[in-house]
Amino acid sequence: MNINIRMWGDDKESAAVRPAFEEQVRRTSRQAYAVARRLTGNAEEAEDLVQESFVRAYRFYHRYDPNLPFASWLFRIMTNLHIDAARRRSRFRLFSLDSQSEATGAAYEPADPADSPETRLLDQEVDASLNLGLRGMNPEFRTALVLSDVEGLSYEEIAEVMECSIGTVRSRIHRARKILREYLTQSAPHLIPPEAGR
């Protein structure tokens, strides 16, 4: 889906903001996509989420405090959009097996050529299982976990992004990872390495 909404006119203010914002896009779009990819579980939704987040960031760029990292501000926008969308979706769509094809059929990045085909296949299977597990959980848990594991944010930074306490972040991450562990153990025990198996 292409979102093509220009929020600023061709006035002086826009001309001043444009180069700075474009630089932010170039610096953070890759990170934003990595987070969005894990949040949504597929390429198409990830692109939409990233694009919509930047559109909103541009619209409200005058509220951005340049003393703070732009990425954190962008992630706040992105996580709010994601959680809102997930809530809206859950009202009329139940998690179904259809989503399995989305998770497994998504285009994967080619793995390291040094890996054997079996390892690559296994990694893809693990990835697909993780995406399924992520999709099935509460969006707040998922968001906290993705910000921690994909973006490498500290609990304190996640608390700022998600506008909650550090204790809440700790609890969300613990519960999210527990869900994933249990999901993998039950649905794909062959993916768990022996030292971590039951």
Binding mask 12-41 for other proteins (x = CB under 8 A): --x--xx--xx--xx--xx--xxx-xx---
Q: Which is nearer to other proteins, 35 or 86 (CB)?
A: 35
Query: Which residues contact residue 38 at a Cβ distance below 8 angstroms, ignoring those fewer than 6 apart?
Result: 131, 134, 146, 149, 150
Q: How many beta carbons lie within 10 A of that of residue 191, not counting itself?
A: 16
Is residue 111 exposed (0-12), middle (13-18) or buried (19+ Cβ within 10 Å)? middle
Options 4-12, 62-70, 75-83, 84-92: segment touching other proteins (CB under 8 A): 4-12
Based on the shown chain and the rule CB under 8 A, indicate whether residue 127 belongs to the binding site for other proteins: yes
Which residues, 51 to 70, sit near other proteins by CB under 8 A? Answer: 51, 54-55, 57-58
Options 73-81, 88-96, 97-105, 190-198: segment touching other proteins (CB under 8 A): 190-198
Least separation in angstroms between residue 173's CB and other proteins is: 5
Choose which of 40, 79, 143, 148 interacts with other proteins (CB under 8 A): 148
What CA–CA distance (Å, rounded) separates 119 from 115? Answer: 6
* 52 contacts 80 by C-beta, under 8 angstroms: no
Based on the shown chain and the rule CB under 8 A, indicate whether residue 123 belongs to the binding site for other proteins: yes
* 43 contacts 107 by C-beta, under 8 angstroms: yes
Strand ranges for the chain from DSSP E = none
What CA–CA distance (Å, rounded) separates 119 from 138? Answer: 30
- Maximum alpha-carbon separation in the chain: 64
Residues of this chain that interact with other proteins (CB under 8 A) are 2-8, 14, 17-18, 21-22, 25-26, 29-30, 33-35, 37-38, 43, 47, 50-51, 54-55, 57-58, 109, 123, 126-127, 130, 145-146, 148-150, 152, 154-155, 170, 173-174, 177-178, 180-181, 184-185, 192-193, 195-198
